[in-house]
Structure 1
Amino acid sequence: MNTYFKVLATCAFSALFALSCSRKKDKFISRNFHAVTAEYNPLFNGYNALEDGKSTLNDAYFDNYWEVLPVERMQITEDILLPGQSRNENFNIAEEKAAKAIQKHGMDIDGKERNPQIDEAYLLLGKARYFDQRFIPALEAFNYILYKYAASDKINQAKIWREKTNMRLDNNELAILNLKRLLRYADIEGQDLADATSTLAQAYINTKSIDTAITQLDIAARATKNHDERGRYRIIQGQLYNQLGKRDSANFAFDKVIALNRKTPRIYRIAAQLGKINNFDHENGNRLETTELLTKIEENRENRPYLDKIYHQIGLYHQKNGNESLAIKYYNKSLRTQSNDTYLNSRNYEILGDLFFDNSVYAKAGLYYDSTMTNMTSNSKPFRLMKRKRDNLKDVILYEGIAKVDDSIINLVNMPDGNRKVYFSEYVAELKRKDEEAKAKAEAASRNTGLATVNNQLSGQVRTGTPGQAVLFYFYNPTTVAYGKNEFVKTWGDRTLEDDWRWSSRGVASSAAIIDPIDVADTATDEQRFDPEFYISQIPSDQKVIDSISKERNYAYYQLGLIYKEKFKEYELSKDKFQNLLERKPEERLVLPSKYNLYKIYELLGQDDEAEIAKSDIISNYPDSRYAHILEHPELVSEDENSPQNLYEALYIQHENQEYEAVISKCDEYINRFDGDAIVAKFELLKATASGRLYGFEAYSEGVKRVAVTYANTDEGKQARHIVKNVLPKLAATNFVEAEDGVSENYKVVFQFKDAEKETILKFKKTLDEVLKNIRYYYVLKSSVDVYNPNTSLVVVHGLNSKQVAETFDQILLSKDKKKIKAPYFVVSSTNYQIIQIHKNLDAYLNLYNK
């Protein structure tokens, strides 16, 4: 009986309790039950998920200390999400928990929320959406708190988070207005004050109001109890002071970060110390004290994760002090840390490139600029600027390489046999030493890898590979890498790193220009590699080959002289190149231009005596040359009708007038006359074009390919390479095309004149034009005279859009005009006419279509 009564009482009490906890009843038990359940179940789990998501964001975020840090560590992405997707599952969980708290524990009775935890749920909902970068839904959540829970203790936080969201939506002015109103009328302090002022500071930074932002950051740093935040705010203060040029104030802010010591993340302390060093007064500051501080920072073991930035700053310090050798050493040390900071790496490479550029070591500068671009975002403005800077060095790097390699070959050719043997014996000894070092390193790496394998197996981890055999990645093994390189060179030769490298057309035009004689070791067998006689046997002995190398070397020196003079204004370097060229007794075509350029350089350097000697030499020894004429009559230079540029322009007009034979002949004359001048490439390309128009595709292809190889580094050479790669394949087809049904095609009526006088052709064209005016239904008909080959011209009627009308051309003429046009004609589509002109296969067309 007692048991029955207890069960009945328990059931009744449970039912009574359940009824009393209804969300629709404003009772003490209901309010507290749902408040406690919401707080310690969905909201507790939701805030844990939110914190996990924020930790993930912070870990993934990379602060760029080269710019002003943002107040909040949050990476904004441009990815577009589909409905239901989330950037971070933790934020999705937090949002679900907030929604669950609202749906299951909300007590909206008579238009008023009775559960005091629901405003917290909406705040969690807004934060989860904010960190998930869904700012419009987040704004809705924060606005709902302001609308529905005006008396909430979270109202100030909701206002602050709403303005954070407004800033993310680029409503900075609105955020400033609302935050200023909040600070003016609300009594906030502690962390809420820190959050409000730091948010306001970010809005001022976004609107370039730097002074006001600094003031707000100072308030935030004082109000917050979070040392991580305080250190960040002070760092940003220092960066902003530096933007304003107030170094003393910036250093004062950095000192406050340093004073926090271990209370704030070490990266902030390092950034503050390096910021102070960057602000060092190199004229009046205590260099000894600063050097000691840098040494102390560098040697501190706790600073090892930040050595990339430390070494870079030390390099800057020494560079500003004029110690370039030490600066270069530390920039390279910074690069060897293999930093993940791509901007820092690009800065190191760029500074090193600039140092070598300023010292006229252009080839090495180019290599550093290449590395700079690999650490930049493609197609960004800095990338494009760097690419333009690097492209300016392309020619000088090429010709310096050619000159260096060819000089080494000529030196070996001229070296006595005894000296050759000594030279290569020393080289072979050095090769053996390096191989032994590489072998020792490989064995050490193998032992270390074997030990690591054993340790991994002992710890229960399975490692692939044969038991007891060291596992070493291919590219970490010097022996296998060297073997791979040799095999590649044997199979493919030396290839430039570029697209479509396997094509035979990508082979280098001149092996002597690229392959150093010492690099023969890379393609030699093991027996040959350590035999001095093998290298001696590779030295050219054929006089034709030696002469070819000498000519290539001389041309490289001439081009370097021009590049240093015209592009880089390095007159001393240019003078050295021209003088070295003349000492080597180059071919006659380079002598006179070199002497004239030397004369101009002497003038620019103020060396009047040398300039006068060079001038007298040119006038007396080359009296009929264009250069002598220029020197004797400098006032006529700008009006000289025989200048290369004026001659080219006149010749181009002849080309436009279809005087192709004359153009080809004149081009040959001017190429010989101006040999060595940069404009020769223009004449060569014009000649190739005229040859193509007169003789067809094969002549054009041959001419363009010659320009692409001979003048590879000129604008014309680059244009020719583009034509060879992209245009010639499209023009190669010789098959005539049949018009497809339903596809409109223009047609031409063509009158052929073989071996006819020019006057006869022009007279016929004049008559034809008069006849065409009388054809009323085809009012756009026009005629032209087109050169087909040296013996044949074509008078062409354009504007017919029907094959049938074109074939009955004589029938559409007026009766009085039919007697005037008695010459035979044939009809051709515009597409086939183009093929006829390109491939000069008119006879094949007539045999095919006019039987």
Structure 2
Amino acid sequence: MKKNFYKYLSIFAILFVVSCSTRKDAFLNRSFHSVTAKYNILYNGQVAFDQGIQELYATYKDDYWKRLPIERLEVSELAIPGVEISGGNSSAAFEKSEEKAVKAVQKHSMNISGKEKNKQIDDAFLLLGKSRYYSQRFVPALEAFNYIILNYPNADLINETKIWQAKSYLRLQNEELALITLQRILQREALVDDKKIIESVHTAAAMVYTVMDSTPQVVHHLKQATLTDYDKEQTARNTFILGQIYREQNHIDSSNVAFQKVIDMKRVPYRYRIHAEIEIAKNLSNDTDTEVLIATLNKLIADRENRPYLDELHYHTGLVHQKLGRIDLAEEHFVASVHAIGAQQFQQGLSYEALGNIQFDKANYVEAGSYYDSVLQIPQDRNTKRIRRLDRKRKSLDEVIYFESIANVTDSILGVVAMSKEEQVIYFQEYIDWLKAEEAAAQQQIENTGFGSLNDANNDFGGDGKWYFYNSQIVGFGQQEFYQVWGNRPLEDNWRLSDKSVLIPGDENVNNLEVLAIEDAKKYDLETYLERIPTDKSEIDSIGSVRNEAYYKLGLIYKEQFKQFDIASYNFEDLLSFNPEEKYILPTKFHLYQIYLELNPIKADKFKTDIVSNYPESKYTQLILNPDELIDEDDASSPENIYKNVYYAYQEGNFEEVITKSEEAIIKYKDQEIVPKFELLRAYAIGKRDGVAAFREALVYVAFKYSNTEEGKKATEVIETINKL
């Protein structure tokens, strides 16, 4: 028995040694190398390749606000013809699959008399090419595919290889050659029953036509690709892209049909189905059954499986409510979108913008500006049309936000000054009590969670001796609370200020107004607050002057820039009640006269009588009595002729004279329509005299102060041009 065992073992050893040869074209040799390559090396290589694909897809993030790319591969800009890059999508898995493919060729290739006898070697080269393709090494990948086509023209994988060859051509920016290759495959009658190849070649053709910007051909090939339904995920993606293209073409019904097909598909990634629901919401139109849509969106929001998509679901639900005029409900959903856990920054930006637009429409410009600030602080391409438009809109709010803050501060200070000593003590003591209550509530919240004391950095929560800020849950609570209060703020000095631009030039009184923060150590000390109350009459008068100017400018801004006559009238009426300086009284009454012509003719008559009776020689009286009378163009002292003379001085290069006379005219013709012209001309003269930096600063002032005029818009355009230099 033992002898027979050794006998058979010897025979097996001899056969094994003989079959190891790659130079003998024998059945045993071919079988050995084919089986070993397929079930050992190539099997492990394919496993590694599949792992690499899973890793690639797991890290790839689709931007559903744009048309999806047909292939889920983010190609680096450095992946250009003839250039090898490091990194890219290369991973250890793709490197291992490439290594296994090379090993299969080196160990088991049987190239005898110029012909390959091992049928697995073409599979090895295909795996090699695909591994290189996904590593964004397209030139070496093309070499591998070309080798198969040249040496294995009758291989079973020849059509698949040619498709990969065409995709490599496409990535190497040779769309014409890629298209020729794919068209040749499509002309073969043998493809009729090969669903995999039919789907792959039509999908690749759609990729080529996408680059060539031939949308009708893209639609045709995507539709053909979806007929086979071989690759469930790619079919869902192709159908989804069809829905997006139909929307671009304004074929909303066809778009909804395509997205509904995706929703009805089985065994496809859930991300396609949920985003198809969202895409149908994006197709909101006058023909949409909004109540059905809202019911669908609310059901999706209530589904716990959709928590990663709550930012998008709430946003689109808010848009539907906004379309129906349910502004309060819309705001609730936009806020929920902003604060959804895991909300994407771009989506947060859209929700902040929607909230800002709502506040803007309500004339709550300070709140609107805060929301717009949150949008603009999100990292994104600043050169898009949407962001440029939003940036201009935000800048138009700078003045109103600035003067509202000045009005609020001065009102508070003067309100405290007007109190008796006893009232001041009660006022600040109530504030101190409120501070203590707030801190106690925060401390209690921390203790209720079981994570220790605010003041005990070594407190043990849960027995591990870690400080409570090391707990991810508490940190998460804090982050959400911070975003609710402050929005997105960069990590920098003075982060509380949403706009750190310089104060508006010329407002010297405002620049001198200073409000000092109270140190933490003294925030509960009553005397600290009391001793800061202004008592000097000149100081109080100065604060009053600042307040009066703020109210006057707010009235002008609301009246001229935003056409909010109600709000403008409140500011002007309040200003008159403050017993302001003489320089404000007549202009304020005139502006109220113009406002009440629109709102209340009886009040308009009252102000008309006041101005005409008490200021008969003023220009305002002339404007009231003769509103249609044109200024004599031949009058050398007319604003128009003054402007012409200053402009001629600019053309002659007398920039100092231009600046001086423009400043005189700005003061002389205050509140008249010609003032922005002088301001812009002055800015140009400053630029000629002092250089680009001074020019830009002067333009910024014109753009801010006169944003709704032609001169303000021109200043904005020039600023954008300067910024690109």
Q: Deviation string for 1:47-103 (max 9, x for gaps)?
A: 222222212211111111222222222222235698583432332332232233233
Asked if structure 2 preserves the Cα contact closer than 8 Å seen for 1:47 and 1:124, the reply is yes
Distance (Å, rounded) in 2 between the aligned partners of 1:193 and 1:271: 27
1:366 alignment counterpart: 369
Compare 214-223 and 54-63 and name the one that shifted more. 214-223
Asked if structure 2 preserves the Cα contact closer than 8 Å seen for 1:674 and 1:680, the reply is no
Greater RCO (Cα-Cα under 8 Å, separation 6 or more): 2
In the alignment, structure 1 residue 127 sits paired with structure 2 residue 159: no
| SS of residue in 2 equivalent to 1:97 | helix
Give the residue type in structure 1 aligned to 2:273.
Answer: R
Root mean square deviation of aligned Cα: 4.8
Asked if structure 1 preserves the Cα contact closer than 8 Å seen for 2:337 and 2:343, the reply is no
TM-score, normalised with respect to structure 2: 0.77
Distance 1:317 1:655, change over 3 A: closer
1:191 alignment counterpart: 196
Asked if structure 1 preserves the Cα contact closer than 8 Å seen for 2:236 and 2:265, the reply is yes
2:331 alignment counterpart: 328
Report the alpha carbon displacement of residue 304 of structure 1 after superposing the two structures with TM. 1.9
In the alignment, structure 1 residue 101 sits paired with structure 2 residue 100: no
Distance (Å, rounded) in 2 between the aligned partners of 1:35 and 1:272: 46
Distance 1:655 1:186, change over 3 A: closer
1:636 alignment counterpart: 631
Distance (Å, rounded) in 2 between the aligned partners of 1:44 and 1:421: 83
Asked if structure 1 preserves the Cα contact closer than 8 Å seen for 2:662 and 2:681, the reply is no
In the alignment, structure 1 residue 412 sits paired with structure 2 residue 413: no
| SS of residue in 1 equivalent to 2:190 | coil
| SS of residue in 2 equivalent to 1:41 | helix
1:836 alignment counterpart: none
| SS of residue in 2 equivalent to 1:199 | helix
Distance (Å, rounded) in 2 between the aligned partners of 1:147 and 1:104: 21
* Structure 1 segment 338-377 matched on structure 2, within 5 A: 338-377=341-380
| SS of residue in 2 equivalent to 1:635 | coil
2:387 alignment counterpart: 383
Q: Deviation string for 1:403-446 (max 9, x for gaps)?
A: 22222323333345665555445434433321211111233456
Distance (Å, rounded) in 1 between the aligned partners of 2:365 and 2:561: 12
Q: Deviation string for 1:260-296 (max 9, x for gaps)?
A: 36x2222222212233344456667261x44433332
2:723 alignment counterpart: none
Q: Deviation string for 1:638-689 (max 9, x for gaps)?
A: 66543557546646877999999999997896676456789599799989x9
1:85 alignment counterpart: 86
Distance 1:653 1:234, change over 3 A: closer
2:557 alignment counterpart: 563
2:279 alignment counterpart: 275
Asked if structure 1 preserves the Cα contact closer than 8 Å seen for 2:510 and 2:546, the reply is no
Give the residue type in structure 2 aligned to 1:85.
Answer: S
* Structure 1 segment 425-824 matched on structure 2, within 5 A: 425-445=429-449, 447=451, 467=465, 470=468, 472=470, 496=497, 510=510, 515=515, 525-528=522-525, 531=526, 535-598=529-592, 601=595, 605=598, 621-622=614-615, 625=618, 627=620, 632=626, 634-636=629-631, 641-643=636-638, 647=642, 650=645, 673=668
Q: Deviation string for 1:368-411 (max 9, x for gaps)?
A: 11111222414332433332222222122111111222223233
Asked if structure 2 preserves the Cα contact closer than 8 Å seen for 1:22 and 1:30, the reply is yes
Structure with the greater alpha carbon radius of gyration: 1
Q: Deviation string for 1:584-626 (max 9, x for gaps)?
A: 33323333444454555566x4877766766675566545555
Distance 1:141 1:570, change over 3 A: farther
1:772 alignment counterpart: none
Asked if structure 1 preserves the Cα contact closer than 8 Å seen for 2:676 and 2:702, the reply is no
Structure 1 residues not aligned, in runs of 5+: 458-466, 486-491, 698-702, 717-851
1:842 alignment counterpart: none
2:270 alignment counterpart: 266
Distance (Å, rounded) in 2 between the aligned partners of 1:627 and 1:325: 43
Distance 1:245 1:9, change over 3 A: closer
Distance (Å, rounded) in 2 between the aligned partners of 1:49 and 1:553: 72
Distance 1:514 1:32, change over 3 A: farther
Give the residue type in structure 2 aligned to 1:239.
Answer: Q
Distance 1:565 1:707, change over 3 A: same
Asked if structure 2 preserves the Cα contact closer than 8 Å seen for 1:560 and 1:574, the reply is yes
In the alignment, structure 1 residue 253 sits paired with structure 2 residue 258: yes
Give the residue type in structure 1 aligned to 2:76.
Answer: T
| SS of residue in 2 equivalent to 1:267 | helix
Report the alpha carbon displacement of residue 575 of structure 1 after superposing the two structures with TM. 4.2
Asked if structure 1 preserves the Cα contact closer than 8 Å seen for 2:458 and 2:466, the reply is no
Give the residue type in structure 2 aligned to 1:554.
Answer: N
Give the residue type in structure 2 aligned to 1:399.
Answer: F
In the alignment, structure 1 residue 29 sits paired with structure 2 residue 34: no
In the alignment, structure 1 residue 243 sits paired with structure 2 residue 244: no
| SS of residue in 1 equivalent to 2:630 | helix
Compare 636-645 and 354-363 and name the one that shifted more. 636-645
Distance (Å, rounded) in 1 between the aligned partners of 2:459 and 2:534: 51
Report the alpha carbon displacement of residue 566 of structure 1 after superposing the two structures with TM. 4.0
Distance (Å, rounded) in 2 between the aligned partners of 1:659 and 1:260: 75
Distance (Å, rounded) in 2 between the aligned partners of 1:307 and 1:661: 60
Distance 1:684 1:97, change over 3 A: closer
Asked if structure 1 preserves the Cα contact closer than 8 Å seen for 2:178 and 2:208, the reply is yes
Structure 2 residues not aligned, in runs of 5+: 487-492, 712-725
Report the alpha carbon displacement of residue 127 of structure 1 after superposing the two structures with TM. 0.9
Distance (Å, rounded) in 1 between the aligned partners of 2:388 and 2:290: 40
Asked if structure 2 preserves the Cα contact closer than 8 Å seen for 1:238 and 1:253, the reply is yes
Asked if structure 2 preserves the Cα contact closer than 8 Å seen for 1:655 and 1:663, the reply is yes
2:118 alignment counterpart: 115
Report the alpha carbon displacement of residue 551 of structure 1 after superposing the two structures with TM. 1.4
Distance (Å, rounded) in 2 between the aligned partners of 1:610 and 1:107: 103
Asked if structure 2 preserves the Cα contact closer than 8 Å seen for 1:21 and 1:29, the reply is no
Distance (Å, rounded) in 2 between the aligned partners of 1:33 and 1:452: 68
Asked if structure 1 preserves the Cα contact closer than 8 Å seen for 2:259 and 2:276, the reply is yes
Q: Deviation string for 1:321-353 (max 9, x for gaps)?
A: 111111111111111124352221111111111
Distance (Å, rounded) in 1 between the aligned partners of 2:18 and 2:7: 18
Distance 1:379 1:107, change over 3 A: same
Distance (Å, rounded) in 2 between the aligned partners of 1:284 and 1:661: 63
Aligned residues: 669
Distance 1:401 1:234, change over 3 A: same
Report the alpha carbon displacement of residue 363 of structure 1 after superposing the two structures with TM. 1.1
Asked if structure 2 preserves the Cα contact closer than 8 Å seen for 1:671 and 1:684, the reply is no
Distance (Å, rounded) in 2 between the aligned partners of 1:337 and 1:225: 37
Distance 1:8 1:217, change over 3 A: closer
